[in-house]
């Protein structure tokens, strides 16, 4: 009996132990872990080891992508909770870590005039960028002509390189920055044309040269602007300007002066060159500063005259001209030949627009008598060279009997009658061969006679 009791007690003890152990097992496996990274929930796992493995895998992936010198905060907190059915596996936890952390790393910032412009992987990349901009200019400046000497070349802007801890997604690739820097900024300024605007008024208002305005608007006719048209006022500007200074030596012309002297043996209006002018020359040394190959400023360092100029001396007549007689030879003119007259007029009209040149008697420039004598000569008709002599040549023709091709004489002037009360002539300095009416008060008062010279 006692043995039976002891066996029963033992069985009860074993059963109780088993029950307690099973209870502990179920108690321990009824919990999971809420995972927090830097205070932000990233999932739920059954085992803490899953988090450690996911963190190790994420760290390796980040270093492979961004380099071993990355910096990021990775404070993991596990919170024991009642088991959930929606817990995460290793891969999911790793991806959640990658999507949550803010990864930073040391980098080199290019500072332009105190402003951070581009952030590159390291200082060596910044140096490569600056060299890509500067080296072509330095290479070009090695091939300067003999009269130019390089004094200095540098960036116009103040440039520094600063180490910074930055987010990895703020880093530029070197190739991208080179394209940006070499093509320039997108800072073009535009203007909408208003009523009354012209290219000139717009250029003055915005202090933009007309040539710059044309270059910034290729294909647009600036002479035909209409209200509503949009003009680009400035082209893209580079992030960096290269400034260099040259010492340049040039040989420059020294203009001669023209001295005018009165001469009483020449008639009023006549001139004569007594001495031809000769230009001098000088050696000029300048310090010239260029920005992006365009002259920005220059300073003269020295001037040495190598050859003095010789002045030009021009004699100007003071002698009064004789007054042409109103009554001239009235020898009866030959009968008008319409064919010859028409040929004379046609020949004369060929030279419409030729400039007046004092003493000129060729198609490069005529004075009045040079024009008439040249035209008649082309038809085989020879007449004197001066207007006074021409007023007496040939036969007299009354004004009412003038025919095309006749010579018409005025006080100090001659021309060729073309019909209809008009004549063709080389008028005066500053004008060109033209057709004028003889019926104006000016020419009517100065008319002397008509002459038929054939």
Q: Tell me the pLDDT tens digit for each residue of 400-425.
A: 999 999 999 999 999 999 999 999 99
Q: Which class is 243-319 in CATH?
A: mainly beta
Tell me what the pLDDT averaged over the chain comes to.
87
Q: Is the pTM of this model over 0.95?
A: no
Distance, CA of 164 to CA of 39 (rounded, Å) = 26
Give start-end residues of each CATH 2.20.230.10 domain in the chain: 243-319
Bridging pattern class, strands 395-397 and 447-452: antiparallel
The predicted structure's pLDDT at residue 334: 66
Domain with CATH 3.10.350.10 in the chain: 190-232
Supply 77's token pair. 């907190």
Active-site positions?
Answer: 368, 413, 425
194 and 226 Cβ atoms separated by less than 8 Å: no
At the fourth CATH level, the homologous superfamily of domain 338-452 is endopeptidase domain like (from Nostoc punctiforme) (3.90.1720.10)
Report the pLDDT averaged over residues 210-236.
Answer: 82
Average pLDDT over residues 366-395: 93
Q: Which residues contact 15 (CB under 8 A, 6 or more apart)?
A: none
Count, residues in the chain = 454
Domain with CATH 3.90.1720.10 in the chain: 338-452
pLDDT for 321 equals: 66
* Fold classification of 190-232 (topology level): Membrane-bound Lytic Murein Transglycosylase D; Chain A (3.10.350)
SS3 274: strand
């Amino acid at each position: 009996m006692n043995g039976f009791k002891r066996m029963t007690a033992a069985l009860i003890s074993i059963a109780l132990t088993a029950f307690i152990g099973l209870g502990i097992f179920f108690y321990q496996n009824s919990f999971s872990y809420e995972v927090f990274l830097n205070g932000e929930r990233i999932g739920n796992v059954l085992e803490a080891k899953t988090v450690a493995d996911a963190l190790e895998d994420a760290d390796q992936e980040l270093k492979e992508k961004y380099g071993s010198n990355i910096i990021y905060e990775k404070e993991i907190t596990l919170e024991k909770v009642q088991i959930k059915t929606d817990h995460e596996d290793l891969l999911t936890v790793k991806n959640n870590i990658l999507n949550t952390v803010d990864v930073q790393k040391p980098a080199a910032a290019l500072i332009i005039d105190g402003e951070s412009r581009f952030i590159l992987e390291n200082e060596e990349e910044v140096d490569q960028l600056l060299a890509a901009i500067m080296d072509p200019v330095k290479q070009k400046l090695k091939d300067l002509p003999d009269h130019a000497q390089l004094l200095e070349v540098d960036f116009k802007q103040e440039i520094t390189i600063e180490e910074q801890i930055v987010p990895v997604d703020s880093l530029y690739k070197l190739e991208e920055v080179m394209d940006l820097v070499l093509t320039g900024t997108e800072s073009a300024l535009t203007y909408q044309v208003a009523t009354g605007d012209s290219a000139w008024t717009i250029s003055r208002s915005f202090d933009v040269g007309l040539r710059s305005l044309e270059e910034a608007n290729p294909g647009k006719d600036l002479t035909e602007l209409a209200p509503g048209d949009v003009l680009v006022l400035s082209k893209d500007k580079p992030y960096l300007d290269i400034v260099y200074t040259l010492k340049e030596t040039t040989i420059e012309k020294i203009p001669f002066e023209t001295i005018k002297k009165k001469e009483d043996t020449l008639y009023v209006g006549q001139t004569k060159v007594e001495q031809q002018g000769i230009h001098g020359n000088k050696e000029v040394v300048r310090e010239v500063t260029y920005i992006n190959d365009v002259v920005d400023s220059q300073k003269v360092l020295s001037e040495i005259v190598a050859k003095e100029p010789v002045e030009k001396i021009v004699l100007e007549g003071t002698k009064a001209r004789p007054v042409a007689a109103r009554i001239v030879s009235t020898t009866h003119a030959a009968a008008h030949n319409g064919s010859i007259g028409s040929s004379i007029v046609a020949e004369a009209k060929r030279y419409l627009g030729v400039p007046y040149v004092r003493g000129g008697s060729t198609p490069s420039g005529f004075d009045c008598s040079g024009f008439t004598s040249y035209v008649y000569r082309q038809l085989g008709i020879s007449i004197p060279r001066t207007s006074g002599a021409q007023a007496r040549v040939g036969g007299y023709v009354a004004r009412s009997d003038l025919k095309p091709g006749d010579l018409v004489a005025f006080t100090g002037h001659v021309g060729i009658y073309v019909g209809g009360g008009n004549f063709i002539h080389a008028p005066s300095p500053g004008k060109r061969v033209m057709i004028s009416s003889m019926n104006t008060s000016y020419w009517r008062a100065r008319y002397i006679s008509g002459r038929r010279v054939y």
